[in-house]
Amino acid sequence: MILINLLPHREEKRRLRKQAFFAGLGLAVGVGGLLVSGGYAVQQQMISNQQARNDYLAAANRKLDEEIKDVSALKAEIESLKARQRAVEDLQTNRNMPVYLLNELVAQTPEGIYLSSIRQDGRTVMVTGMAQTNERVSEFLRNTGNRSTWLERPELQEIKVSAVAQKDARNPKRLFEFSMRLTLKQPQDVDEAAGGAAAPAGAKGRKAPGRPALAPVAAPQS
């Protein structure tokens, strides 16, 4: 049987072109959809990776903050221990200061001077006594001002003549009653002075004097 195409030739070509157009359009839409889907998937993967990095950095920051807190607490504990150590050292030093003071007064008081009272108030020391001559008082001032390890800045407060009756009332002994103020050095000042003197003394083969030995001190006799 013979088939005869009765459609016009132009209509057939138009139909074919329309089919090709819609086929190309569908293909373009499909390719575009694939590109959009692929771009979206890549973007989501990048966002997920960045979020993972952000989470890691946040966790690292939290861990670092905890370590900083631990370090701060450790530093505070160290400072507290240092403060306790300083308090114990200061207490021990304050307990030894009267011994250093008495030893120093024994070492620096010249013959011919009798100390009647010693009063300490912090670093200030008030001393009163009797002297045979003014020269003895001057020597006492020089000793405590220039030669003393623990005493400094002596200041003569008062000196006056005092007549002390002897067995022979007609021949009283002339003495000088005096009072002076001294300053007791801090232990660290003594240690620094001893350390500074140790360098040149060590170069000459000599040992610099340190703190005085704690020898027993006898009370003045009247």
CA-wise closest residue to 143 among 106, 108, 114: 108
> Which whole-number Å values give the CA distances from 217 to 29, 31, 63, 93, 98, in the listed order?
112, 109, 62, 18, 11
The residues, any chain, with a CB within 8 Å of residue 207's CB and separated by 6 or more, are: 198, 201
The amino acid at residue 69 is: K
Contact 120, 184 (CB under 8 A): yes
Residue 208: phi and psi, rounded to 5, are: -75, 145
CB count in 10 Å sphere of residue 140: 24
The per-residue pLDDT string of the chain (222 residues; one tens digit each, 9 = 90 and over) reads 565 555 566 777 777 888 888 888 888 888 888 888 888 889 989 998 999 999 999 999 988 988 898 888 889 889 999 988 888 877 776 777 888 888 888 888 898 898 999 998 888 889 999 998 889 999 999 988 888 888 888 898 888 887 664 545 565 677 889 999 998 887 777 767 666 555 555 444 444 444 443 333 333 333
SS3 of the chain: helix, strand, coil, percent, to 5: 60, 20, 20
Q: Are 209 and 197 in contact (CB under 8 A)?
A: yes
Whole-model pTM: value is 0.47
